[in-house]
């Protein structure tokens, strides 16, 4: 029989890991939402998406350490860097390949971009991890035995605000409605006077901006190296598939789930097993429920 003391310690550990998982998960949500939004309008995957996360993180790091900018402003810088990268990849890859009608060529081309970006960053910034310290990671609050840093409060606040803004944009603005129309039926939307090319561009820019911004917030939590994107992209893929490609609510749910899996695997199993657990879940989902946690009508791709 366990004493009430150990039970309380266990409860505290569980609460602590739940907090850590939600912080991490909300960042994964920001990254995965971009992938899922692009998939919604374009039915394509940007494999370099996570490298936008990494470059956003490096942009924020150098903005703070070379130019002495504040951390909150550096999140904005990362957002702009992400948006520019999104515009570039649309102009150079997605727009020219859109009319060739191949499902796989754009994906392969963005794999090339990802390999290029990672190795260019490697030769520019080197393989040694950067310690991305923000003034907020030192401020610790203690609530009922659990710890949180000001950093994690910023992460959760910015993530919730961003997701709420995005939701409002999609639901209430004309552009947002047009975007959903393009996602449902690109040709008919075109007949209604909506310019699909413009909206696809806008979606990729918004999605990539989210990725860059997520980078500025992820780097202080994880390790910042040129290959940071690789571990993020594999989890983001797992999230979009577990949540259902193109499904925003499912992606949010799956993102938090993967964050929680990661923190509890670290606590109770072994950090080396995170990817195995996450991808084991992914393969199970693909085998038994390929439309994702929340089923949708879009089934023709499965």
**Site for other proteins, rule CB under 8 A:** 39, 44-45, 92-93, 96-97, 100, 102-120, 122-123, 230, 234, 237-238, 241, 245, 270, 272-273, 275-276, 279-280, 282-283, 286-287, 290, 301-302
Tell me the closest approach of the beta carbon of residue 290 to other proteins, in angstroms.
6
Compute the least distance from the CB of residue 75 to other proteins, in Å. 28
Min CB(112)–other proteins separation in Å: 3
Q: The tokens of 149 are what?
A: 């840093």
* Phi and psi angles of residue 61, each rounded to the nearest 5 degrees, phi first: -60, -50
Q: Which C-beta is closer to other proteins: that of 22 or that of 241?
A: 241
Smallest separation, CB 172 to other proteins (Å): 31
**Integer angstrom CA distances of residue 33 from 19, 29, 130, 226, 265:** 21, 6, 26, 22, 24
Give the helix ranges, DSSP H, for the chain: 4-42, 49-67, 71-89, 95-98, 105-125, 150-172, 174-184, 186-191, 196-218, 228-243, 248-268, 274-288
Smallest distance, other proteins to C-beta of residue 32, A: 12
- Stated length of the chain: 302
In the complex with other proteins, which residue's Cβ is closer, 104 or 191? Answer: 104
Nearer to other proteins, 135 or 280 (CB): 280
| 15 vs 88 by CB, closer to other proteins | 88
C-alpha to C-alpha distance for 80 and 250, rounded to whole angstroms: 27
CB 230: neighbour CB atoms within 10 A?
15
Nearer to other proteins, 39 or 71 (CB): 39
Nearest residue to 38 (alpha-carbon basis) of 116, 106, 84: 106
């Amino acid at each position: 029989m366990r004493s009430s003391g150990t039970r309380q310690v266990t409860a505290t550990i569980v609460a602590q890991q739940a907090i850590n998982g939600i912080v991490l998960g909300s960042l994964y949500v920001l990254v995965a939402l971009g992938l899922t939004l692009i998939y919604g309008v374009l039915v394509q995957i940007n494999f370099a998406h996570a490298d936008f996360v990494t470059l956003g993180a490096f942009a924020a790091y150098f903005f703070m350490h070379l130019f002495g900018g504040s951390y909150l402003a550096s999140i904005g810088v990362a957002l702009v860097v992400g948006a520019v990268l999104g515009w570039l990849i649309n102009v150079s890859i997605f727009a020219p390949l859109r009319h060739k009608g191949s499902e796989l060529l754009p994906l392969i081309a963005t794999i090339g971009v990802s390999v290029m970006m990672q190795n260019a960053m490697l030769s520019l910034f080197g393989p040694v991890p950067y310690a991305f310290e923000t003034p907020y990671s030192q401020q610790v609050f203690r609530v009922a035995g659990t710890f949180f840093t000001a950093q994690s409060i910023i992460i959760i606040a910015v993530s919730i605000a961003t997701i709420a803004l995005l939701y409002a944009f999609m639901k209430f603005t004309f552009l947002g409605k047009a975007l959903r129309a393009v996602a449902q039926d690109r040709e008919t939307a075109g007949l209604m006077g909506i310019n699909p090319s413009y909206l696809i561009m806008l979606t990729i820019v918004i999605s990539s901006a989210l990725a860059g911004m997520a980078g500025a917030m992820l780097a202080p939590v994880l390790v910042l190296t040129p290959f940071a994107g690789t571990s993020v992209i594999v989890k983001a893929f797992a999230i979009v598939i577990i949540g259902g490609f193109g499904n925003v609510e499912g992606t949010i749910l799956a993102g938090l789930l993967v964050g929680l899996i990661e923190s509890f695997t670290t606590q109770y199993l072994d950090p080396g097993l995170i990817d195995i657990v996450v991808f084991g879940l992914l393969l199970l989902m693909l085998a038994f429920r390929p439309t994702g946690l929340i089923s949708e009508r879009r089934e023709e791709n499965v």
